[in-house]
């Protein structure tokens, strides 16, 4: 796989060495078991896969290269480069301005941007409508486009399905940048509908079997379908694609539910005329991170820590998986931790909360740890070192790595 040139500040002395060891021992990524780092009084179970993925490293390389090579130009990002506060703050500190927030609300009016400026398209991609605005201004939409190739793969698959007269069902959060971009591309060629979860997929099947009316359907999915969407006609042939950071297992569950509904309605022998197999649109990095997290759940631990941006969809899903098994703390960085308390994000109330005495008072504490695809390895290092500082008798990272035992 391509090696990217990313700033040294995002690399690490502990995690980078650990990942290299695992790659050498398991180059085909068949072993999803975590790595044990036993420091004596505290032991970490480090997920097999986490941190920067291909698409994120590609976006970071392009963004920093653009800044370094264009010191005299105004440089904009359409929205957050990736969903990590440390990375986005550093880009702002280097002079990059964000045009809009994650939901498409403008910070900077289009009238302020000229053909002499640079606009970087983030890893999530952007809508065709925004691309057209940039082109009309004479701004290059290719050279500084960091759209993840796996997001583009979803767009290409949707386009191929549309040529076969399939309606595109998008599993995603309809306000998310990537879902908005996918919907925009999909809508150019075929009727499209966004569904958030298995419950909304089930509601869709209710219409198929005449349990709800067209009016109820359109009201329920308001703003989530293309103009002129007619569920009577447009739900006869469907294919499911996804926002790449959603739970892969949920996308598969949704696809299976809709496939079975089509079988019930049209018969097994006719399923290929009504449902397209789209399993090839699932992102490898999302799959690997979620599979590794599921493996982590099989081990014993006193608590789990997930590190990443609070608005990161893929990080939120890792937190959801771990919460089923452990007391889980979702934090953005090491500054959220002190010896007697932790500030962490509670997804049920969408806000940070404080927990006192989060570390058990026992001879040996075991902590499961992972991070989202937009979290630098250096931040994981900082979290590990912060926790180790609470234990005077802990071994040094060099000692532990030198005698590493992989379960």
Q: Which residues are the active-site residues?
A: 178
φ/ψ (deg, to 5) at 367: -120, 120
- For 211, residues 6+ apart whose C-beta sits below 8 A from its C-beta are none
The sign of the CA dihedral 201, 350, 379, 91 is positive
**Torsion angle of C-alpha atoms 111, 117, 122, 125, degrees rounded to 10:** 60
- For 366, residues 6+ apart whose C-beta sits below 8 A from its C-beta are 42, 43, 44, 45, 300, 301, 302
Rg of the chain over CA atoms, in angstroms? 23
Pick from 218, 166, 164: nearest CA to 192: 166
Question: CA 387 from chain center: how many Å?
Answer: 26
CA distances from 49 to 1, 33, 97, 373 (A): 15, 9, 32, 9
> Both tokens of residue 85?
């506060």
Cα 7 from Cα 17, distance rounded (Å): 17
Cα distance between the two ends of the chain: 26
> Residues 59, 148: contact at Cβ < 8 Å?
yes
CA atoms in the 13 A half-sphere facing the CB of 177: 25
Pairing between β-strand 351-356 and β-strand 341-346 as defined by DSSP bridges: antiparallel
> Residues 192, 172: contact at Cβ < 8 Å?
no
- For 338, residues 6+ apart whose C-beta sits below 8 A from its C-beta are none
- For 291, residues 6+ apart whose C-beta sits below 8 A from its C-beta are 32, 49
> Both tokens of residue 43?
């032991």
Q: What is the 3-state secondary structure (H, E, C) of 61-124?
A: HHHHHHHHHCCCCCEEECCCCCCCHHHHHHHHHCCCEECECCCCCECCCHHHCCCCCEEEECCC
């Amino acid at each position: 796989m391509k090696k990217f040139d990313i700033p040294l500040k995002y690399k690490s002395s502990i995690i980078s060495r650990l990942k290299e060891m695992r790659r050498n021992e398991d180059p085909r990524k068949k072993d999803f078991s975590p790595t044990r780092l036993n420091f004596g009084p505290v032991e970490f179970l480090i997920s097999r896969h986490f941190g920067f993925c291909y698409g994120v490293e590609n976006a970071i390389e392009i963004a920093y290269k653009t800044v370094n090579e264009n010191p005299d130009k105004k440089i904009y990002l359409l929205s957050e480069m990736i969903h990590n506060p440390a990375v986005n703050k550093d880009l702002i500190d280097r002079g990059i301005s964000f045009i809009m927030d994650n939901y498409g609300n403008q910070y900077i009016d289009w009238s302020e941007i000229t053909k002499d400026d640079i606009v970087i398209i983030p890893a999530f991609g952007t809508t065709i409508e925004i691309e057209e605005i940039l082109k009309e201004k004479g701004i290059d939409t290719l050279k500084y486009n960091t759209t993840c190739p796996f997001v583009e793969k979803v767009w290409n698959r949707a386009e191929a399905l549309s040529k076969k007269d399939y309606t595109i069902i998008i599993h995603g959060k309809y306000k998310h940048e990537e879902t908005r971009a996918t919907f925009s591309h999909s809508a150019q060629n075929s009727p499209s509908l966004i569904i958030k979860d298995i419950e909304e997929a089930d509601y869709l099947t209710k219409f198929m079997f005449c349990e709800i009316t067209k009016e109820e359907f359109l009201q329920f999915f308001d703003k989530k379908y293309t103009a002129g969407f007619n569920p009577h006609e447009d739900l006869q042939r469907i294919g499911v694609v996804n926002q790449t950071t959603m739970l892969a297992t949920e996308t598969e569950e949704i696809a299976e539910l809709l496939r079975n509904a089509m079988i019930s309605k049209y018969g097994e022998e006719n399923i290929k005329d009504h449902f397209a197999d789209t399993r090839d649109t699932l992102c490898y990095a999302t799959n690997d991170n979620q599979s590794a997290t599921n493996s982590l759940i099989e081990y014993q631990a006193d608590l789990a820590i997930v590190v990443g941006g609070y608005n990161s969809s893929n990080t939120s899903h890792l937190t959801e998986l771990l919460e089923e098994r452990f007391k889980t703390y979702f934090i953005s960085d090491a500054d959220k931790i002190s010896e007697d308390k932790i500030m962490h994000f509670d997804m049920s109330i969408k806000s940070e909360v404080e927990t006192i005495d989060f570390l058990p008072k026992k001879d040996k504490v075991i902590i499961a740890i992972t991070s989202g695809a937009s979290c630098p390895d250096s931040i994981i290092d900082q979290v590990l070192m912060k926790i180790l500082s609470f234990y005077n008798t802990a071994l040094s990272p060099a000692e532990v790595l030198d005698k590493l035992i992989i379960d």
